[in-house]
Amino acid sequence: MNQHLLDPAVQHWLDIAGIFVFAISGALLAVRKNFDVFGMAVLAEVTGLGGGLFRDVVIGAVPPAAFTDAGYFHAPLIATALVFFLHPHVERINKAINVFDAAGLGLFCVVGTVKAHEYGLGLFASAVLGLATAAGGGVLRDVLANEVPSLLRWDRDLYAVPAIVGATVTALLLDAGALNAVTMLCAAALAFLVRLLALRFGWRAPRAWHRRSTVEDAEPGS
């Protein structure tokens, strides 16, 4: 395994912060779906921890950090309690939550890529797991809430693309031997910036070329 590029204590608290922010989005979705407090906690835990758990299992980093450090489980529970009592106020700061969510996305796509590479995966596989780390929890959250994952919806602002950008840049830096704490933060900042610009300007991925514009057009006999 390669030497860690971030101090383990710093990385730990950055992970906790990202997990907490993602967990808030999961708990808020549970409120919108009229789930009880247990459902809120489940969505918060899944959203915050899902991507990292998937990555750690794939690369063989077992038991995953979420099962060896109680803080990883406590952060989503604290987020659940916050949303349970203060959700009307939390709803008002959705824009701020989106900013922190974008920061978590940028951080996790980079950290996930680096960790996968440290465990011996190639650059492409490492970048894929960087994307999974950043977006996996949100996909699981949406599936459990019986919604089409935001990752797959054309009517949502770009989410996967910023993570792909950050993970790809990280992989290229690894390949060039130029990855260090500064360049790693720059890659995370780039993913963060792309996500913020997508939110600001409503950027979306293109749909199929010359697709029919309405559901009715696609029905048999139409």
Express each pLDDT in 66-92 by its tens digit.
Answer: 898 898 999 999 999 998 988 777 666
Per DSSP, the residues of 2-71 read PPPSS-HHHHHHHHHHHHHHHHHHHHHHHHHTT--HHHHHHHHHHHHHHHHHHHHHHHT--S-HHHH-HH
Q: 219: pLDDT confidence band, cut at 50, 70 and 90?
A: very low
Instruction: Summarize pLDDT for 153-189 with one digit per residue, the tens.
Output: 776 778 889 999 999 999 999 999 998 878 988 999 9
Instruction: Summarize pLDDT for 7-38 with one digit per residue, the tens.
Output: 677 777 878 887 898 898 888 888 888 899 99
pLDDT of res. 212: 67
Average confidence (pLDDT) over 89-114: 78
Q: 214: pLDDT confidence band, cut at 50, 70 and 90?
A: low
pTM, rounded to two decimals: 0.80
pLDDT of res. 43: 93
Q: 59: pLDDT confidence band, cut at 50, 70 and 90?
A: very high
For the range 94-97, what are the long-range contacts, defined as Cβ-Cβ under 8 Å and sequence gap of 24 or more?
A: 94/28, 97/21, 97/24, 97/25, 97/28
Mean pLDDT across the chain, nearest whole number?
Answer: 84
